[in-house]
Structure 1
Amino acid sequence: MSTSSGFDFPSFYATWFDHLHRLIDQLSTTTKDNQHNAASTADHLRLVETVMSHYSDYYRVKSIAAERDPLSVFSAPWATSLERSLHWIAGWRPTTTFHLIYSESSILFESRIVDILRGLRTGDLGDLSPSQFRRVSELQCQTVEEENAITEELSEWQDDVSELIGARAEMTGRVEGLVSIIKKADDLRLRTVQKVVEFLTPKQAIEFLIAATELQFGVRGWGLDQDRRRGHDPDQ
């Protein structure tokens, strides 16, 4: 499904998503590297930066698509029915980041609690420092506030539009407001992940990104399976 201006964002997304798979395969390979030296750390950091740049590209192109056809982007035709049911303004909810990092940290902490109690540093997400937890918690509070503000802005926009049904000229002007809302939501999504990654070591950042993308891959895979059973495939 293409936007009215001819820009095919769903096709871009399919290509982008395939490339993300390849990048995460590279990240997963690095987790098997037991070397802990300056060279390996630099390689880890480079891979993390590459993945974050890939996400930045996604939101940059999505912003262009939103300017051309905000209603199409808001409806997210590239996503599965399952993904759309979980969406917050055409994408994942930013506060999901914190649920994920706390969950992964807890799972790894419990699996290695004996080593940690012995004073051995694992250096993974189960070994977050008090300082890291504090910074993540502070960011979570800020993100919740921004998320709520954008949600309220969308609610006000919807109320305005509902009062103008049938007034095409005024509706056109109101649709432009949706572009701003989509961009704010995407900016918050990207900034949240960028800041969390900044709080983490390269090794922890790799584990976080792998966990985040595995969740993304899992939800999309399940959604594709369900849609195909119903005779609908968003990849086509």
Structure 2
Amino acid sequence: MENPSSDTEKLQQDCYNEWMSLQAKRMTELKEALSTGEKDDDKLRDLIRTAIKDFEDYAGKRSEHSCRFSSNYFAPKWNTCLENALLWMGGCRPSSFIRLVYAMCGSQTEHRLSNFFNNTNEDIHGLSMALGETRGGIGAGESMSDLTAEQIIKINELHLKTIKAENKLTKLSASLQEDTADMPIAVAAFYKEVIGQADMAVERALDKHEEDMAGLLVQAEKLRLTTLTKIVDILTAGQAAEFLLAGKKLHLAMHEWGRSREHRRIEASGGDTIGEVARE
């Protein structure tokens, strides 16, 4: 007899595996486009549109697959423990996209100034050249460290709106968690002689909880997509490509770091079931 839960989980995990493979492919394409001597804005914009469409399609599939077993997305078996510990509504916080912009802007500015001050033969003109140097195929005005005042204002405004929207969803999630201690679940758990057996009323309550969680996931996916799209709209083609590349590298790196940490834990405990944490 087929298990609907297992079938759905397989669909969800297959969707995730396809997404991770696509992330690696897009990362390579973005790196190649940014490493050329002369940037091609049209090519960069095509890659950016493709990356946004990829995310939109992935979010749509996740929303579709969450209709019946949404709880799978709030602690996915295909994730590492590290990744699950960082989850917000089944994914990353939309505001973390904006924090990534801030981090890249600061690190690139520090890198350029460090390069300049490490060369004592440079003069003031050299400083100007250092701040406008071409890095990785991205010329002056195209690096994340070259954000204009107008861009920074727009990003800050988006940050505030995004945090407000996140807080609203977080409160809804807290209400759902509190509902699990409400009727009829709590009463059934108290009076049941055999723990684990659920009557029809409890099953209906749990199904309703899964349905509500699926609704939260859909809203969270929309917020993630909206935030990502708005950030890209604020940035230039070169900046947006850099930002998307950094996001993909971070996502893939977190997965690999999580796997590495779990392997080390098992080895340290003398375990011989390394395969258990090899989530592909």
TM-score under structure 1 length normalisation: 0.91
CA contact (8 A) 1:78 1:235 kept: yes
Q: Sequence identity of aligned pairs in percent?
A: 25
* Amino acid corresponding to residue 35 of structure 2 in structure 1: K
Count of aligned pairs: 232
1:216 aligns with 2:248: no
Distance 1:213 1:118, change over 3 A: closer
| Alpha-carbon offset, residue 118 of structure 1 | 6.9
1:197 aligns with 2:241: no
Secondary structure of 1:6's partner? Answer: helix
Q: CA separation in 2, counterparts of 1:3 and 1:91? A: 24
CA contact (8 A) 1:108 1:126 kept: yes
Match of 1:235 in 2: 279
| Alpha-carbon offset, residue 162 of structure 1 | 2.1
Q: CA separation in 1, counterparts of 2:130 and 2:32? A: 28
Q: CA separation in 2, counterparts of 1:137 and 1:101? A: 11
TM-score under structure 2 length normalisation: 0.77
Q: 1:115 aligns with which of 128, 141, 156?
A: 128
* Amino acid corresponding to residue 97 of structure 2 in structure 1: T
Secondary structure of 2:90's partner? Answer: coil
Q: 2:30 aligns with which of 5, 9, 27?
A: 27
Match of 2:260 in 1: 225
Match of 1:101 in 2: 101
Distance 1:74 1:3, change over 3 A: farther
Match of 1:174 in 2: 209
Q: CA separation in 2, counterparts of 1:145 and 1:54? A: 26
Specify every segment of 5 or more residues in structure 1 that has no aligned partner in the other structure, as ranges. Answer: none
CA contact (8 A) 1:65 1:73 kept: no
Match of 2:174 in 1: 155
Q: CA separation in 1, counterparts of 2:25 and 2:154? A: 31
Match of 1:71 in 2: 71
Q: CA separation in 2, counterparts of 1:111 and 1:170? A: 55
RMSD: 2.0
In terms of mean alpha carbon deviation, does 70-79 or 163-172 score higher?
A: 163-172
Specify every segment of 5 or more residues in structure 2 that has no aligned partner in the other structure, as ranges. Answer: 114-126, 134-139, 189-201, 267-273
Instruction: For 1:138-149, list aligned pairs within 5 A.
Output: 138-149=157-168
Q: CA separation in 2, counterparts of 1:18 and 1:43? A: 21
Distance 1:96 1:77, change over 3 A: same
Match of 1:84 in 2: 84
Q: CA separation in 2, counterparts of 1:3 and 1:102? A: 44
Q: CA separation in 1, counterparts of 2:21 and 2:46? A: 20
In terms of mean alpha carbon deviation, does 95-104 or 66-75 score higher?
A: 66-75
Q: Which string of whole-angstrom CA distances, capped at 9 and with x for unpartnered residues, describes residues 180-234 of structure 1?
A: 1111111111211111011011100011011111111111001112234433336
Q: Which string of whole-angstrom CA distances, capped at 9 and with x for unpartnered residues, describes residues 14-59 of structure 1?
A: 12211210111010011111214xxx11001001111111111111
Distance 1:178 1:139, change over 3 A: same
Q: CA separation in 2, counterparts of 1:153 and 1:213? A: 29
Secondary structure of 1:92's partner? Answer: coil
1:4 aligns with 2:39: no
Secondary structure of 1:87's partner? Answer: coil
Q: Which string of whole-angstrom CA distances, capped at 9 and with x for unpartnered residues, describes residues 133-177 of structure 1?
A: 010000000000000000000000111122142333233223211
Q: CA separation in 1, counterparts of 2:219 and 2:151? A: 26
| Alpha-carbon offset, residue 3 of structure 1 | 6.4
* Amino acid corresponding to residue 219 of structure 2 in structure 1: K
CA contact (8 A) 2:70 2:213 kept: yes
Q: CA separation in 2, counterparts of 1:205 and 1:219? A: 21
Distance 1:74 1:119, change over 3 A: closer
Q: CA separation in 1, counterparts of 2:4 and 2:259? A: 22
